Structure 1
Amino acid sequence: MLVHIGLRPCFCGEFADRRNRDEVVIRPGYLDGRWTEASRADGAVRSKAGAAHLPLPDLLHAFLDAGLTLERIAEHGTPTPVVLAVRVRKPG
């Protein structure tokens, strides 16, 4: 079994303007899966170390392409989810 807990890719990244937590504005860039150091938050880890951004389908397909079976998917955060958790298992 493998559990991945990370940022919700659709609502976190340099393309997500989160200055107003009740109205997250998604700007162009979400579909650009790539390594980035761009960040909207001063001093964020992403701006110092970088991060690999994957759109949600690419992230989930990475598990499936590795031969793993999706068991559970959960989100956390209000009003817009910021955490995504995925539990996968190797068949057999």
Structure 2
Amino acid sequence: MSSVRYDGVAEWYEGFRPALKPEELEALQRLLGRGSGRCLDVGCGTGLTTAAVAELGWSAVGIDLSEDMLETARGRGLEVVRGSAEELPFADGTFDAAVSAWTHTDVDDFSVAIGEIARVLRPEGPLVYVGGHPCFVGPHAIFLGGEGVPELHPGYRNTRRYDGSAPGVANKDGLRARVGAVHLPLDAFLAAFLGAGFRIERFEELGSRDYPHVVALRARR
């Protein structure tokens, strides 16, 4: 089970990330769409994605390991549960759909987490995932400021957790300096979905910069 790393940063996080970025919200609207069934948001944090799912008509349930982050989500009037993405406290086939955002940079074993999502989804239920592009966002990538492209350093192929001192993490004012980051190369990232029996229907590279800093996908099994 992943350790709790976000307790103590929820208040700061609200100022750091007060809303979903436009490309993330648009991807969620496009890939998930409107619905009326139960949708699980894995790694919900302060509930930004959970709230967006509810706005699309779904009966949204969020789950996160950090009680501090969940308190903020509850303040938004959301239904949330404390638990690990790697050991979801739900029966098989409980949910009609699932979403997750940026969890591959937080959970210790992303493959296990995706396998758990597969377990609690009904057959053919969609999973929509949005997160940092493994090629351009990670401990190996140092941003040069503004809208510039990242400067890439050795380490892209290393699959492991980094603390806040890694080159692409060491922004003292940023989130990853506080909670660290897990890096997965793109092949390992995609293998987590395929290994859980998902077929990837859509894969998109997003971002307003000159390079794609966000990936989004929809998968089913």
Where on the TM-score scale, by shorter chain, does this alignment land: which range? 0.7 to 0.9
Number of the residue aligned with 2:213: 82
Q: Name the CA shift for 1:40/1:19 in 2 (closer, same or farther; >3 Å).
A: farther
Higher RCO, 1 or 2 (CA under 8 Å, sep at least 6)? 1
Please give the root-mean-square deviation of Cα atoms over the aligned residues, in Å.
1.4
SS at match of 2:192: helix
Which of 151, 154, 171 in structure 2 is aligned with 1:28?
A: 154
> Unmatched 5+ residue regions in structure 2?
1-125
1:6 aligns with 2:137: no
Q: Larger C-alpha radius of gyration, 1 or 2?
A: 2
Contact 2:139 2:183 in 1 (8 A): no
> Unmatched 5+ residue regions in structure 1?
none
Distance 1:31 1:85 in 2: 21
Q: Report Cα offsets for 1:11-38 as digits up to 9, x if no partner.
A: 0112112115444221101110111123
| Aligned pairs, number | 90
Which of 58, 69, 80 in structure 1 is aligned with 2:188?
A: 58
SS at match of 1:85: strand
Q: TM-score when scaled to structure 1?
A: 0.87
Contact 2:203 2:216 in 1 (8 A): yes
Percentage of matched positions with identical amino acids:
39
Contact 2:139 2:181 in 1 (8 A): no
Number of the residue aligned with 1:17: 142
Distance 2:176 2:149 in 1: 22
Contact 2:132 2:213 in 1 (8 A): yes
SS at match of 2:215: strand
Amino acid aligned to 2:130:
I
